[in-house]
Structure 1
């Protein structure tokens, strides 16, 4: 069991994460980015014209995700990906045979409720074979880490790096993010690399 899985297990045992949310089978993976730029934040996203092909989200694209509570909504952007990422100190290193991957996320509270969560709990990367890797603790030289406790009023923004650890030989091709520590019904998915 990796460090992130142990952390989630400890939170579940402590009663800090709602176990009932994991039992909901109505999940939805969203790969279609919004059709809006940063200058249009706060305005509703344009819907693709009927009959047009869906475009898979890539680095730089924004996906709007809903949380479990009414009015809970984030515009999530995968800003940059660094693979491999270099630790910012000599004490934090990946396990032998692994590497760090850094993903910079921008979160904008586009809902009507305050957002209060640990974004790294709802973030994963996946390789071309479908293996998924959770976030791990560590700082990288690419820039400041995403706070482990993000609180945003409606309209508020957060920017930071989330670090993942994956085998050196794995070809990471996707980033996923879900609200409510990963328990919400919607998951955003971006193709990378």
Structure 2
């Protein structure tokens, strides 16, 4: 077999092609699967309206790691307390957080969560109270091995159709993002 001057050896070309295919799978994998699944695999079945899949996520700091499970979606969710006059509706998403890292998790789950609608609009969560169940407090602190369960509320236009939920550590700014398909 002859090689042109300056051309990489055939073995290197095969490695580059394989690296390109693997990169494409990493990027397209969550969309193809409908949800990113962490090393722990899927969790126990979810309640109606939830995916039940657990995603293992890393934060930006050393030892920051959470297993996050979307357990339930309530759409529409009824506000707890006085109902403000608004053309929007609330959607409540329940997450289970388990600190599987070696660092203390100290973050706001509401700011870490996002809901995407079928038109591609992105909505940031809030800690608004709904009758769906208890919301996460503004800040959650979990020692390694600790866990918490709570709702994050999203305000969406009446005609918006929720398509996916996302969660990332560090106030939603970490590079590692969990993604769950809702449609």
- Name the TM tier (shorter chain): 0.7 to 0.9
Q: Which has the higher contact order (CA 8 A, sep 6+)?
A: 1
Q: In the alignment, is residue 77 of structure 1 matched against residue 66 of structure 2?
A: no
**Structure 2 residue ranges without an equivalent (≥5):** 1-26, 45-49
Q: In the alignment, is residue 153 of structure 1 matched against residue 143 of structure 2?
A: yes
**Structure 1 residue ranges without an equivalent (≥5):** 1-27, 39-57
Shift in Å at residue 136 of structure 1? Answer: 2.7
Q: In the alignment, is residue 62 of structure 1 matched against residue 66 of structure 2?
A: no
Aligned match of 1:107:
97
Aligned match of 1:45:
none
Q: In the alignment, is residue 167 of structure 1 matched against residue 157 of structure 2?
A: yes
Larger Rg: 2
Shift in Å at residue 96 of structure 1? Answer: 2.5
**Separation of aligned partners in 2, 1:176 and 1:36:** 16
Q: How does 1:1-150 map to 2 (within 5 A)?
A: 31-34=35-38, 35-37=41-43, 59-89=51-81, 91-93=82-84, 96-150=86-140
User: What SS does structure 1 have at the residue aligned with 2:125?
Assistant: strand
Aligned match of 1:7:
none
Shift in Å at residue 74 of structure 1? Answer: 0.2
Query: Superposition RMSD on alpha carbons, in Å?
Result: 1.8
Count the aligned residue pairs.
145
Shift in Å at residue 92 of structure 1? Answer: 4.3
TM-score by length of 2: 0.74
Q: In the alignment, is residue 178 of structure 1 matched against residue 168 of structure 2?
A: yes
TM-score by length of 1: 0.70
User: What SS does structure 1 have at the residue aligned with 2:151?
Assistant: strand
**Residue pair 1:92, 1:138 contacting (<8 A) in 2 also:** no
User: What SS does structure 1 have at the residue aligned with 2:179?
Assistant: strand
Structure 1 segments of 4 or more deviating over 6 A? none
1:76-120 per-residue CA deviation (whole Å, 9 max, x = no partner) reads 00110001000111x243x62210000001000010111111111
Q: 1:127 to 1:37 in 2, by over 3 A?
A: closer
Shift in Å at residue 137 of structure 1? Answer: 4.0
